[in-house]
Amino acid sequence: MRAIIYCRVSSDPTGRGRSVSEQEAECRAVCEREGWEISEVLTDNDIGASRFSGKDRPAWRRLHDTLGAGDVLVTWVASRAQRDLEAYVQLRNLCADRGVLWSYSGRTYDLNRGDDRFTTGLDALLSEREAENIREHVLRAARASALAGRPHGKIPYGYRAVRDPETGRIVERIPDGAGSLIVQEAARRILAGETLHAITRDFRERGTPPPPGAQTWRPQMIKRMVLRPTYAGIRVHQGAPVGKGKWEPLITPEDQEKLTAILTDPTRVTHRGVAPRHLLTGIALCGVCGEQSGSTMRRINRKGHEAYHCNENGCVTRKMKPLDEYVTAAVIGRLEEPSLIGTIGATGTEAADLYAQARVLQARLDSFIKDGIEGLVSSAVVGQAEKTLVPQIEELEVRARRAASSPIVGEMAGPQAEARWYEASIEHRREVVRTLVKVEILPVRGTRRVFNPEDVRLTWQK
């Protein structure tokens, strides 16, 4: 099948858009996967141009000339190509009239089919709304910081205050659209098994505004956020829970319990409160008692040198620097192996993107359900949205998990692994080690004082 790729650059106040080269790369990857032959790549620059007028958009005109029956039009995710409903309707009609399939977000639609018209229409409606929500939130955040310094009560992120019009005192707090959805999204994604890092990265890439007072999103911030009792509707006084609040919870108490279990699990070292500073503490196993006790290495200072030491029984000790160097070299070698890339995913960011797409669909579904609850749309529409979106979300999540056991490994693997390793934070390096290899520190044989790789056992994960 002949594929025509169509990309658009537009001014993007939400900061969620992709550059044209990124859009193009993703579209090309789709074509390659589907076995489509790319006949043309068309790009329009919308910045400063009047919307879809055609006048300023040579590629859009070219699209009309070139699209023919049996072709497939490939664009980047809906929220991009379908900036507004008007644009969507024009694209949809063009595809339907020409008998052209339309592919975005990893799916291909036939606009002459009712189901596909419904799904794409839903995408367009919701992406427009999503853009509005984010824009509103940006404005609100700007206004809030302008008012900083004035007393306004301590309302947690994700809520807003309802004030008594006479006294100006806060009488109630209610969920605030964008912020509350972010809190819920973070909780849901952690429950689904995503790492704090993956979510942080996604929030940053999407340009999701961080809570007031913060410069940017950080993994620990997200952890603290989802574990705040107030989001489960629990009142806290001087650090201790004192009862049930009157406000609407954003996370159920049951889910918050699960989140606590997940985020304080000692085997998930990246989620500990204090950021680890060493590559292998809590990761490398004692080669003597580790099988029975599960004992890992802790850091000790030995004659002025940092060393790893069996935490439970003190069976083995190893100088830190040469061991770190040895494991680092081995892991980088592994990351550079083409066979690893094959198992991790075709492109480094594939898994993260798939998760992001699943998240977008989930947010859409949620807003439909919310509208259904508020009576803005009929339950039949909500049911239809669920029927259409849930299988798509599930499929994306399955693909994401298949694409990478760890999104960070997926991102680091490849021919440039060494450079990326040295740019990465210690938390990311640790996650990569933990995902890829079991490190066991064996007792030193003989009396050699020099580090000997034979006294370490590396077992690569399949």
User: Which residues lie near Zn ion (CB under 5 A)?
Assistant: 286, 288-289, 295, 310, 313, 315
User: In sequence order, what DSSP letters do the residues of 160-192 get, joined into one string?
Assistant: EEEE-TTT--EEEEEE-HHHHHHHHHHHHHHHT
| Closest distance to Zn ion from the beta carbon of 316 (Å) | 6
| Closest distance to Zn ion from the beta carbon of 324 (Å) | 19
Q: Which is nearer to Zn ion, 245 or 314 (CB)?
A: 314
- 435 Cβ neighbours under 8 A, 6+ residues apart: 405, 406, 408, 409, 461
Q: How far apart are CA 357 and CA 344, in angstroms?
A: 18
Q: How far apart are CA 143 and CA 448, in angstroms?
A: 66
Contact 280, 327 (CB under 8 A): yes
Q: How many CB atoms lie within 10 A of CB 453?
A: 13
Q: How far apart are CA 441 and CA 313, in angstroms?
A: 13
Q: Which is nearer to Zn ion, 280 or 340 (CB)?
A: 280
Is residue 293 exposed (0-12), middle (13-18) or buried (19+ Cβ within 10 Å)? middle
| Closest distance to Zn ion from the beta carbon of 361 (Å) | 47
Q: Which is nearer to Zn ion, 317 or 347 (CB)?
A: 317
Q: Which is nearer to Zn ion, 290 or 410 (CB)?
A: 290
Q: Which is nearer to Zn ion, 378 or 459 (CB)?
A: 459
Q: Which is nearer to Zn ion, 317 or 384 (CB)?
A: 317
First and final CA of the chain: distance in angstroms? 36
- Could you give the C-alpha distances from 20 to 25, 32, 321, 453, in angstroms and in order? 8, 18, 43, 47
| Closest distance to Zn ion from the beta carbon of 328 (Å) | 23
| Closest distance to Zn ion from the beta carbon of 286 (Å) | 3
- 59 Cβ neighbours under 8 A, 6+ residues apart: 6, 42, 43, 44
For 362, the token pair is 């989930």
| Closest distance to Zn ion from the beta carbon of 265 (Å) | 22
Q: Which is nearer to Zn ion, 107 or 319 (CB)?
A: 319
Q: Which amino acid is at 48?
A: G
Residue matched to tokens 């001014």 = 11
| Closest distance to Zn ion from the beta carbon of 281 (Å) | 14
Contact 359, 185 (CB under 8 A): yes
Contact 131, 137 (CB under 8 A): no
Contact 73, 40 (CB under 8 A): no
Residue matched to tokens 């929500």 = 133
| Closest distance to Zn ion from the beta carbon of 300 (Å) | 13
Is beta strand 240-244 parallel, antiparallel or unpaired with respect to 456-460? unpaired
Q: Is 366 helix (H, G, I), strand (E, B) or coil?
A: helix
Q: Which is nearer to Zn ion, 225 or 439 (CB)?
A: 439
* Residue 142 parent element (H or E): helix 114-146
| Closest distance to Zn ion from the beta carbon of 461 (Å) | 22
| Closest distance to Zn ion from the beta carbon of 457 (Å) | 14
Q: Which is nearer to Zn ion, 41 or 286 (CB)?
A: 286
Q: Is 334 helix (H, G, I), strand (E, B) or coil?
A: helix
Q: Which is nearer to Zn ion, 137 or 318 (CB)?
A: 318
